[in-house]
Structure 1
């Protein structure tokens, strides 16, 4: 795939230096991380030292003040190495923006420098054992007690759950209000706060190096000064930020599709059957042309969405379409590419096997693809 139309010389240079860094610091270690089921915190520190964490943050807090185009490049280059690096994008583009947009001055000065240096690793905790897409029905509560909140509840499937030092937790501060979503707030809960424990690291089908865990809050005492934004406004904040979260997921799926297509084209050219490369068979050619077309369409659609998102437009419908279509397409492509690899595609040493495992969850997280369709249907007035 070609670069995006909006990439200028400085973006190309940024991409080159990031790719060089990852080829040295991530690619050789990635297999080990997958086996360890964890990316070491030392890698986060290196990312911070190089300016690859939260480059969008204002310079006064230690950031570089860069635009979203740099986030696109970081997301793509991380995904090229492997999907288990998704936690970096979550930190940069999903969690930290809540601090930037809704945090007060004191909170920004307290938290942002550490997020940029890699000393702090963030997570966002929405999902519970009994509530996923249905956010209004979460049961984690935060009851005001003087200068503190007392938090009780449990969260699950939390990306960066084990490594995280700072977690934006979605809580109910008002359990009586109707409609229920009006009682939701966001609290920053920090590692080491009394009553906050991390559960087991979850054993997933794919994304093995990505630490995902359960979080428990038992009479967890959190200072009121850790409330992000206003009390009971949390649901509004979440809705405002989900456009970018879903765009980030769509971008990762697109990158995965491009990567799978590239590796499969290389493979079929070198693999022989019946005395000729399997790329010479018409079935192989047709399959690859179909995939190449879908990848091309995805790239163009995504390019236009990134530009509209950067221009500050409300593109919730289109982003919901992109999130469901690009993740479903990536799932389909992973199966087709594995098939074209034959028996080797089922072997762990071939990257397609890992892609095949890593892709499916993208259709589930950040709002399932079924939810994406209901959002679009609603906006179509159906």
Structure 2
């Protein structure tokens, strides 16, 4: 069966989708199980993706990227995450922070930092979450203070993609203390990872997406030039919140890819597995389980593509991005749970792909804001 068909994909994004599918087939799928099992970063696959133009795809052509639209990005994302969520995250995450820098950075920052990301010579990261704070952007405590012509950063960040190996990280830090405006107290800074006072350690042994890298970062009197401020001082919350709409659409693609893989894997299994002298797929209860899962998947995918079009064309689509993220990621969980159930005892074996998908599906419901936060946004913006 083929769930990620082109019928919902605008014509402008179909070439990117076909290219991504071919790349996923040739590079991601053959390496997925190995990198999940040993938890190693898929350097060779990411390098191949960079050579093929899949790293930093949304970076503008003037800075060496392909200037992909959000729709093209979503088309690529759902294909990569169907092939493997961990490797998909490693590829898509290599340019974390680049979109914000391109929109709000100075021309000098963009000319210096973006071309090496687009070419694959360097890669970046974005540091928002902290050990004690995740979805509460206004509650982050990592602080940056002026000292002459420098900013001095102190604090911790957690679950930071590429925090160890990136060349620079876009750091979200507190720069004010106005109790009347909690949303105006944070700013963004480019922090090279080789600066004194920057230390990072790998977070090992995640249950899912094991091919991707996340780090625990500590800033101890970490100094960066005043010129490393991105955008206006105090505008960090609003800047990050705006780009979460794009991030939520992307995360919806993560969920769709995982859900599609789970359904396709399970559909094949029940047709091949026999019980009581006939294929498991002949039993009506199994057919109903898969019919329900297919219905939820198609609903989630239709909502996601509609949300993508609205976010691409409007600055007021937060409710649509939040609905898509919630529906797509929760559908991934439901589809993988159905798949585990229908695989029976085989589903708990590490060697079975459905067990990897089951674990991968637990992550997207958390990042880019837990789904409880998404429901708040849906209500407030309706």
Which category of TM-score, normalised to the shorter sequence, fits these structures? over 0.9
Of stretches 157-166 and 188-197 in structure 1, the one that deviates more from structure 2 is: 157-166
Q: Post-superposition, which runs of at least 4 consecutive aligned residues in structure 1 deviate over 6 A?
A: none
Partner of 2:196: 194
Aligned residues, how many? 378
Partner of 2:343: 341
TM-score between both structures, scaled by the size of structure 1: 0.94
Structure 2 alignment gaps of length 5 or more: none
1:338–1:353: 8 Å Cα contact kept in structure 2? yes
Among 3, 11, 14, the residue aligned to 2:6: 3
Q: 1:19 to 1:143 in 2, by over 3 A?
A: same
Structure 1 alignment gaps of length 5 or more: none
Distance (whole Å) between structure 2 residues aligned to residue 296 and residue 19 of structure 1: 19
Among 109, 112, 121, the residue aligned to 1:110: 112
Of stretches 31-40 and 189-198 in structure 1, the one that deviates more from structure 2 is: 31-40
Q: CA deviation at 1:312?
A: 2.5
Q: CA deviation at 1:327?
A: 1.4
1:54–1:96: 8 Å Cα contact kept in structure 2? yes
How big is the alpha-carbon RMSD for the aligned residues of Structure 1 and Structure 2?
1.8
Partner of 1:67: 69
Among 34, 37, 40, the residue aligned to 1:35: 37
Partner of 1:244: 246
Among 297, 307, 310, the residue aligned to 1:308: 310
Distance (whole Å) between structure 1 residues aligned to residue 15 and residue 380 of structure 2: 42
Map Cα deviations across residues 51-88 of structure 1 (whole Å, 9 max, x no partner): 11123322221112232222112211210121112243
Q: 1:229 to 1:75 in 2, by over 3 A?
A: same
Distance (whole Å) between structure 2 residues aligned to residue 352 and residue 83 of structure 1: 12
Q: CA deviation at 1:324?
A: 1.6
Partner of 1:55: 57
Distance (whole Å) between structure 1 residues aligned to residue 211 and residue 130 of structure 2: 22
Of stretches 330-339 and 12-21 in structure 1, the one that deviates more from structure 2 is: 12-21
1:4–1:303: 8 Å Cα contact kept in structure 2? no
Q: CA deviation at 1:188?
A: 1.1
Q: 1:326 to 1:59 in 2, by over 3 A?
A: closer
Distance (whole Å) between structure 2 residues aligned to residue 4 and residue 26 of structure 1: 24
Partner of 2:295: 293
Matched, 1:86 2:84: no
Q: 1:40 to 1:277 in 2, by over 3 A?
A: closer
Of stretches 358-367 and 39-48 in structure 1, the one that deviates more from structure 2 is: 39-48
* SS at 2:116 equivalent: helix
* SS at 2:180 equivalent: coil
